[in-house]
Structure 1
Amino acid sequence: MFNKSKSPAPTPQSRADSGSSIPPLPDLPAPGQPAASAPRSAGPAPVSQRGLSTLSSDLQFEGAITGGGDLQIDGAIKGDVRVGRLIVGETGAVEGNVSADYVEVRGRIVGGISGKQVKLIATAYVDGDITAEQMSIDIGAYFQGRVLQGRREAPAATPAPRPAAPAAEPAPQIIDMKSGG
C-alpha cells in the first residue's frame, strides 16, 4: 500500500552540523538555511513570538486569567479572561467575561465578549453580549445576545472642550440578534 521513497537518508554529518538530532519544525527554516518566504493562509491572526499557552481539555480552572499573551482554551474556565489573543477550542468552555484583541470561538462562552476582532466559528455557542470592531458569525454558530459594533477611540492627551449643543455624531450600531444552529 505504501511505497518506500527512494530519497537518500540524511547523512550523520548534516545532523552534527545542526547541533542536535531534532529536526526543525516544518514551518521554520533549518539551522543555517535562509528563511524562505512561504505563502501563508488567510487563517487566524498570527501567534506572538512568545507562543501560545494552552489549557488542555482535561483541565478545569476557577478564577480570573489576565495577561498580554496568547491563550487557547480547550478545558473549562469559570471566571473572567483578559489576554492579547484568545482561541476557545471546540471542547473549551468559559463562564465569565472575555476580553482580547482577537477572539475566536469554536466552543462555548456564557458571558460578554469584548475585542477588536471577534469570530464565531460554526461550532460556537455564545450566550452574552459582544462588543467588537470587526465581527463574523459562521453559519451554524449559536449566538444569543446583543452586538455593539464600533471603533475604539484613542484617549486624547488633553480633554477637548465639549460643545454646548450635541454634535451630529454617528451612533454605534446596536444589533439585537437571536440565531440558532
Structure 2
Amino acid sequence: MFNKPKSPAPERPSNALPIPPLPDLPSPGLNRAPAPVPAAAPSPIASSRGLSTLSSDLQFEGNISGSGDLQIDGAIKGDVRVGRLIVGETGAVEGNVTADYLEVRGRIVGGVSGKQVKLVSTAYVDGDITAEQLSIDIGAYFQGRVLQSRREAPAPIAPAPRPAPPVAEIETAPAVAAPAEDKPQIIDLKSV
C-alpha cells in the first residue's frame, strides 16, 4: 500500500560525544559488560495478572479502587482499595489502604486493612493495622494498633426440627354443673 522511502541514517561527527544508553536498555554501539542486576525476591504479584504502576515521579490526589494489582512508587493522597498492592520504597500513601495482599516497602500514613499484610524492613506505617496475617521485618517502623481479624466461619447448619409425635386426642363430655351432692363425672377417652 504505502511505501516509505528509506533514508540513510545521519552520520555523527567524529568529535561528538557518545549518547549514553537508557539505564534499562543495552547500548547497541558500546561493548561494555552488562551491570549486574541485584536479585530481588519475586513478589507474588509479579507472577499473577498484569500489574499497574504509579511511578515515582507521579503524585495523585483522590481515591483509587478496583480489584486489580497496583504498585505505588509515587505519592497518593487518598484512600486506596485494590486486590493486591505493593507500596514501593519511594511510594507514599496518605489515607486508608485496603487490599487482600499488601506489601509495604515505603510509607503509609493511615489505616491499613488486609488479609495478608507484610511490612518490609524499609516500611514506615503510622496507623492501625487490621489483618488476618501480619509480618513485620526487623527495621520496619510501625506506630499504631494491630487488630487480628479472623475469617468468619460459616454459621453451623442446625438440623431440621423433627416433627412432634402424634398426640392422642382426649374427648371430654361437656361439663355439667354438679348438683349439691357429689356424683362422679364420666370422661370418655378415645385414641385417634
TM-score tier, shorter chain, comes to 0.5 to 0.7
Structure 1 position 151, deviation (Å): 1.2
Q: Equivalent residue for 2:144?
A: 145
Residue of structure 2 equivalent to 1:107: 106
Q: Deviations over 1:55-105 (max 9, x none)?
A: 000000000000000000000000000000000000000000000000000
What TM-score do the two structures reach when normalised by structure 1? 0.60
Farther off after superposition, 41-50 or 55-64? 41-50
Higher relative contact order (CA 8 A, sep 6+): 1
Question: Which aligned pairs between 1:124-143 and structure 2 lie closer than 5 A?
Answer: 124-143=123-142
CA offset at residue 157 of structure 1? 11
Q: Which amino acid aligns with 1:151?
A: R
* CA distance in structure 2 between the aligned counterparts of 1:68 and 1:47, rounded to whole angstroms: 15
Q: Which residue of structure 2 aligns with residue 56 of structure 1?
A: 55
Deviation (angstroms), 1:50: 3.5
Structure 1 pair 72–157 and aligned structure 2 pair: CA distance change class (3 A):
farther
Give 3-state SS (helix, strand or coil) of 2:144's partner. strand
Whether 1:45 aligns to 2:41 is: no
* Distance in 1, Cα, partners of 2:68 & 2:46: 9
CA distance in 2, matches of 1:46, 1:94: 19
Q: Which residue of 1 aligns with 2:67?
A: 68
Give the RMSD, CA atoms, in angstroms. Answer: 2.1
TM-aligned CA deviation for residue 154 of structure 1: 5.6
Shift of the 153–47 alpha-carbon distance from structure 1 to 2, 3 Å rule, reads: farther
Separation in 1, partners of 2:47, 2:84: 9
| Structure 2 residue runs without a partner (length 5+) | 1-39, 158-192
Number of aligned residues = 118
Q: Distance in 2 between the 1:80 and 1:157 partners?
A: 36
1:1-181 paired onto structure 2 within 5 Å: 43-47=42-46, 49-153=48-152
Unaligned runs of 5+ in 1: 1-40, 159-181
1:57 and 1:91 in contact (8 A); partners too: yes
Query: Aligned partners of 2:94 and 2:62: how far apart in 1?
Result: 10
Question: Match of 1:36?
Answer: none
> Percent identity, aligned pairs only?
84
The structure where strand makes up a greater share of residues is 1
What letter matches 1:58 in structure 2?
D
Cα offsets for 1:90-148 (capped at 9, x unmatched): 00000000000000000000000000000000100000000001111111110000000
* Distance in 1 between residues matched to 2:98 and 2:61, nearest whole Å: 17
Q: Which amino acid aligns with 1:102?
A: Y
How far the C-alpha of 1:49 sits from its partner, in A, is: 4.8
Within 2, Cα distance between the matches of 1:60 and 1:135? 28
Instruction: Choose 1 or 2 for highest CA Rg.
Output: 2
